[in-house]
Amino acid sequence: MKDKPLILVTNDDGITAPGIRALIEVMNTLGDVVVVAPDSPQSGMGHAITINSTLYCEPITIDDGVQIEYSCSGTPADCVKLAVNEILNRKPDLCVSGINHGSNSSINVIYSGTMSAALEAGIEGIPAIGFSLCDYSWEANFEPIKKQVKVITENALQNGIQKGTVLNVNFPKAQKGKLKGIKVCRQANARWVEEFDKRTNPQGRDYYWLTGKFINEDRGEDTDEWALAHGYTAVVPVQYDLTAHHAIKDLNSWNLND
């Protein structure tokens, strides 16, 4: 009898977040699950790692599931590093991160702790998927997306994920409890226009709240933003090799060695 796949589960909203609890429930139907997740919210941490303070990682029981769980004081990337190097006795067959409360589509992928955990797994040679739901509410309804989470994960386990890439999966908020299909997309060309709300505290010291507006400059119908806007789940393969290969020829034309 073939052993069940070993699945590492993590996130950036914290180990008690409803999104990761929903993800754990689905993964328990597919394999042996080990959870290593932050003990508190780590949203927007990107690929930060802890190097100037101590890390703690302790076993924890949150519900009556069959999974093994650890609560970590570090970032999402820390969680993956600790899992691979200290907790697991073998490399997992798959790492899944999420389900994030809020979108990680388009440019958001570079700020995302959810996707950074998946990318860290990819760097370690582990097939990985980041899952996000376009609903920031703590009471977000994850039930309608569980079927697609399972379908995507089953396909990843059966078919593999191309080396050097991980999957960024974003689900639209279900309308009337239903989703449309799944589309494989490219990342939309979009950006944030930041604004800072400047205020003064009672001691007279200025402080700032980051705000901003999301601008989608891409009108293509093959993008993640288009898919989500039209009720489809968006699957984008992303890579951690940031080399702009198309720019190498141009740079080689510079007089750099004169």
Distances (CA, A) of 6 to 24, 56, 67, 85, 94: 13, 23, 11, 15, 7
Higher model confidence: residue 45 or residue 20? 20
Q: Are 30 and 149 in contact (CB under 8 A)?
A: no
User: pLDDT-based confidence at 56, cuts 50/70/90?
Assistant: very high
Q: In the numeric block, which tokens belong to residue 256?
A: 């750099």
Q: What are the tens digits of pLDDT across the range 104-129?
A: 999 999 999 999 999 999 999 999 99
Q: What is the mean pLDDT of residues 66-92?
A: 95
Please tell me the predicted confidence (pLDDT) of residue 258.
74
Considering only CA atoms, which of 101, 48, 57, 53 is closest in space to residue 77?
48
Length of the chain: 258
Quote the percentage of the chain above a pLDDT of 90.
81
Considering only CA atoms, which of 155, 72, 154, 158 is closest in space to residue 120?
72
What number of other Cβ atoms are within 10 A of residue 7's Cβ?
Answer: 24
How far is residue 41's CA from residue 43's CA, in Å, rounded to a whole number?
Answer: 6
Please tell me the predicted confidence (pLDDT) of residue 1.
41
Edge-to-edge strand order for the sheet containing 32-38? 57-59, 68-72, 32-38, 6-10, 94-101, 128-133, 165-171, 233-239, 182-184
User: pLDDT-based confidence at 92, cuts 50/70/90?
Assistant: very high
User: pLDDT-based confidence at 149, cuts 50/70/90?
Assistant: very high
Tell whether pTM > 0.85: yes
Q: What is the mean pLDDT of residues 148-171?
A: 97
Burial of 36-55, coded b for 16+ CB within 10 Å and e otherwise, reads bbbbeebbebbbeeeeeeeb
Give the ranges where the chain is alpha helix by DSSP (H): 18-27, 76-82, 113-123, 146-159, 224-229, 248-252
pLDDT value at 100 more than 90: yes
Distance of CA 154 to the CA centre of its chain: 18
pLDDT value at 81 more than 50: yes
User: pLDDT-based confidence at 46, cuts 50/70/90?
Assistant: confident
How far is residue 160's CA from residue 30's CA, in Å, rounded to a whole number?
Answer: 15
Q: What is the mean pLDDT of residues 165-188?
A: 93
Domains of the chain in start order, with CATH, are 6-187+221-252 (3.40.1210.10)
Please tell me the predicted confidence (pLDDT) of residue 213.
86
pLDDT value at 64 more than 60: yes
What number of other Cβ atoms are within 10 A of residue 247's Cβ?
Answer: 9
How far is residue 156's CA from residue 106's CA, in Å, rounded to a whole number?
Answer: 22
Q: In the numeric block, which tokens belong to residue 40?
A: 């508190």
DSSP tag of 140: -
pLDDT value at 138 more than 70: yes
pLDDT value at 34 more than 50: yes
How far is residue 127's CA from residue 245's CA, in Å, rounded to a whole number?
Answer: 24
Q: What is the mean pLDDT of residues 89-110?
A: 95
pLDDT averaged over the chain?
Answer: 93
Please tell me the predicted confidence (pLDDT) of residue 2.
59
Q: What are the tens digits of pLDDT across the range 196-241?
A: 889 999 999 999 988 888 888 889 899 999 999 999 999 999 999 9
Q: Are 41 and 114 in contact (CB under 8 A)?
A: no
pLDDT value at 66 more than 70: yes
Q: What is the mean pLDDT of residues 127-146?
A: 96
